[in-house]
Amino acid sequence: MTNRPVPGDPRDGTRFDVIIRNGRWFDGTGATSAIRNLGIRGGRVAVVSIDPLDETGCPQVLDASGKWVMPGMLDIHTHYDVEVLLSPGLPESVRHGVTSVFLGSCSLSAVHADPSDAGDLFGRVEAIPRRHVVDTLTQSKTWTSAHEYIEAIEALPLGPNVSSFLGHSDIRSARMGLDRATRKEVAPTQAELDAMAAMLEEALDAGFVGLSTQELLFDKLDGDLCRSRTLPSTYATRKERRRLGAILRRRGRALQAGPDVARPQSMVALALSSVGLFRRPLKVSLLSAADVKATPAAAHLFPAMAKAINALGGDFRWQHLPVPFEVYADGIDLPVFEEFGSGAEALHLSNQIEERRALLADVDYRRRFRADYDKKYGPRVWHRDFFDAEIVECPDTSVIGKTFGQVGVDRGGVHPVDAFLDLVVEHGTKVRWRTTISNHRPAVLDRFAADPGIQLGFSDAGAHLRNMAFYNFGLRLLRRVQDAERAGTPFMSVERAVHRLTGELADWYRLDAGHLRIGDRADVVVIDPAHLDATLDAYAECPVPEYDGLSRMVNRNEDAVSAVFVGGECVVRDGVPTPVLGVRRTGTFLRASPPDRMWDSVT
């Protein structure tokens, strides 16, 4: 294949738009890598050759000697639904080699809900400032359907390619109204159920990759109308879920779902829904496989469940962030506090500063908080250990570098909860601290990264702007793979790692992306493996002009990525966005291709 003449091969004298020479080429299939020369023309790979290419008239020649040339990575779990409208170049992802992103995760999309409801859906769950969600959609929303939404997205100067799920909470609130959609006693009428089904069918016709839903009960609504209720999809009836699932099954599209961590039966039911037997398997991707500190034994469950479900004829995957899940918080503003009652009480008052301060100082409240904190058993996300929570910023500099637990010890044996709350009452959000919630054991991370029942993604890019930054998760995985090879303890080849971050994901979701063969999209990343180093873990912040200069956590490791091309256009050079990014459209909306055949009916 690599020497096959094609139109535009230098042997017919046709000029290339870009030549990338002498790089270690990965095609995104997991095949053995090799030193090759790539010629790009018209946004596609025109030739992959052992022999040097004729560079005559080529406006851009990149020498990739000693570097890796691979397909652009896919990020299958982002919350860029608002940011893409404000800053369509999405530079924080693209600069780290991500050339295709998925919107619409966790039951949240910006297709059908009105701006105010969308603000309530995104604001608290994803920690995206509600006012900016409302204002952006009020000014930008011209669409009333999925087809029109895609047209609006494609009219933007996209940096990366974009695909999307349709959000279950989005269509539920649009059809039922946010208030009715978040009441346990209210089921959708037949007309409302028919309308939701029609919305899903229309989105799949347009090319959406599937539906996202959420059953997790600590994701709460923002705003005043339904504040602190759980997301609309958590109220869905069994009939409703079956109706929507049947559409996805028949059409071979994916269900992304978040089970309720407090109810293991939720996870089991969603996983089993993938099983086909006498019908088409339902593609199911669950959130998420993680080595959670709070429940370390669960690390054995995720791969075993995927293997069992797929052995029964399912098409099931877990989503997994292949790096330590380190989070930062300003005071008590961190979503994990939503998982228990006293924490949710405080977050309910996020817009009422004095009321919140009074609550945190209240003796009875503190008693409730300590009781919640001391419950160490049962499914949960946060391990609830303030001895494992380091203070990194505070007006009281004497506590910086210490844990809240240690501060309590220094203050004469104060309970860790009281040490934490005392500092938050005194300093509010000026107390910044960090902890690692999951993925802290390298051996487990390696096992997950190589498991075929686990998909690599779940970056949450565009959300939780002050809490975490995983924009470079792919680079960090590649570093770990390379380091293991060098140490003589490989857990996966570099070729396999590239495949897992690119072609494997594109193929499962049926997208034209993730490969770098003749005729494929010229979405290319050139990586300098010598700089896959400790700089990938560095902390950095950068203001977001579109969010009134809010300082968000980002990643900065310019030396690792030599170049990024989207559709054959260079959008990043030496880790820095080029003037093209976000000014000229280089990406497109990637539509999911239909399966080989449609199933006429499902049970």
Buried-state track 202-234, b at ≥16 Cβ within 10 A, e below 16:
ebbebbbbbbbbbbbbbbbbbbeebbebbbbbb
pLDDT at 5: 40
DSSP per position, 511-528: -S-S--STTSB--EEEE-
What are 186-235's pLDDT values in tens digits?
999 999 999 999 999 999 999 999 999 999 998 999 999 999 999 999 99
The residue behind tokens 């269509």 is 171
Q: Name the percent of the chain lying above pLDDT 70.
A: 96
Which of 481, 508, 535 is the endpoint of a domain?
508
Two tokens, residue 491 = 């857990």
Q: Name the percent of the chain lying above pLDDT 90.
A: 92
What are 153-193's pLDDT values in tens digits?
999 999 999 999 999 999 999 999 999 999 999 999 999 99
Cβ–Cβ < 8 Å for 254, 260: no
The set of residues, in sequence order, having a beta carbon less than 8 Å from that of 189 and lying 6+ positions away, is none
Q: Are residues 461 and 410 in the same domain?
A: no
> How many C-beta neighbours within 10 Å does residue 297 have?
7
Which CA distances in Å does 84 have to 80, 193, 546, 570?
6, 30, 11, 19
Q: Are residues 231 and 313 in the same domain?
A: yes
Q: Whole-angstrom Cα distance, residue 221 to residue 219?
A: 7
- Residue 14: which pLDDT band, with cuts at 50, 70 and 90? low
The residue behind tokens 């497109």 is 588
Q: Does residue 378 lie within any of the structural domains?
A: yes
Q: Does residue 220 lie within any of the structural domains?
A: yes
Q: Are residues 452 and 402 in the same domain?
A: no
Question: Taking 60 as the threshold, does the pLDDT of residue 599 lie above it?
Answer: no
Two tokens, residue 281 = 């398997």
Q: Whole-angstrom Cα distance, residue 345 to residue 165?
A: 31
What residue numbers bound the domain in which 344 lies? 333-436
Q: Whole-angstrom Cα distance, residue 102 to residue 258?
A: 16
Q: In what order do the strands lie in the sheet with 390-393?
A: 325-330, 432-438, 390-393
Query: Angle at Cα 580 formed by Cα 578 and Cα 586, nearest 5°?
Result: 120
Two tokens, residue 248 = 């996805």
Cβ–Cβ < 8 Å for 274, 281: yes
Cβ–Cβ < 8 Å for 303, 411: no
pLDDT greater at residue 288 or residue 179 = 179
Two tokens, residue 213 = 């839903």
pLDDT at 261: 83
Buried-state track 527-564, b at ≥16 Cβ within 10 A, e below 16:
bbeebbeebbeeeeebebeebeebebbbbbbeebbbbb
Q: Are residues 403 and 456 in the same domain?
A: no
Q: Are residues 112 and 193 in the same domain?
A: yes
Amino acid residing at 63: D
Q: Does residue 146 lie within any of the structural domains?
A: yes
Least confidently predicted of 1-10, 65-74, 509-518 = 1-10
**Number of residues in the chain:** 603
Q: Does residue 58 lie within any of the structural domains?
A: no
Question: Could you tell me the sign of the dihedral formed by the alpha carbons of 296, 297, 298, 299, in that order?
Answer: positive
Helix (H) or strand (E) holding 577: strand 576-577
Cβ–Cβ < 8 Å for 258, 106: yes
Q: Are residues 141 and 257 in the same domain?
A: yes
Which of 458, 474, 508 is the endpoint of a domain?
508
Question: Taking 80 as the threshold, does the pLDDT of residue 35 lie above it?
Answer: yes
Q: Does residue 548 lie within any of the structural domains?
A: no
pLDDT at 598: 46
Q: Are residues 286 and 237 in the same domain?
A: yes
Q: Are residues 413 and 459 in the same domain?
A: no
Q: Does residue 470 lie within any of the structural domains?
A: yes
Question: Taking 60 as the threshold, does the pLDDT of residue 593 lie above it?
Answer: yes
Bridge partners (DSSP) listed for residue 319? 287, 455
pLDDT at 376: 79
Fill in the DSSP letter of residue 374.
T
Which of 474, 508, 542 is the endpoint of a domain?
508
From the number of C-beta atoms within 10 Å of its C-beta (0-12, 13-18, 19+), residue 473 rates as buried
Question: Taking 60 as the threshold, does the pLDDT of residue 539 lie above it?
Answer: yes
Q: Does residue 1 lie within any of the structural domains?
A: no
What are 104-141's pLDDT values in tens digits?
999 999 999 999 999 999 999 999 999 999 999 999 99
Q: Are residues 230 and 243 in the same domain?
A: yes
Question: Taking 70 as the threshold, does the pLDDT of residue 6 lie above it?
Answer: no
Q: Whole-angstrom Cα distance, residue 381 to residue 519?
A: 44
Number of structural domains found in the chain: 2
Which CA distances in Å does 145 have to 174, 199, 230, 384?
12, 8, 25, 43
CATH of the domain at 171: 3.20.20.140
Q: Are residues 242 and 347 in the same domain?
A: no
Query: Angle at Cα 129 formed by Cα 209 and Cα 351, nearest 5°?
Result: 135
Two tokens, residue 507 = 């193929």
Q: Are residues 277 and 136 in the same domain?
A: yes
Q: Whole-angstrom Cα distance, residue 572 to residue 558?
A: 10
Q: Name the residue among 289, 284, 359 with its Cα closest to residue 319.
A: 289
Number of H helices, E strands in the chain: 20, 22
Question: Could you tell me the sign of the dihedral formed by the alpha carbons of 257, 263, 267, 270, in that order?
Answer: negative
Two tokens, residue 567 = 């559709």
The mean pLDDT value of the chain amounts to: 94
Q: Are residues 470 and 373 in the same domain?
A: no
Q: Does residue 496 lie within any of the structural domains?
A: yes
pLDDT at 596: 61
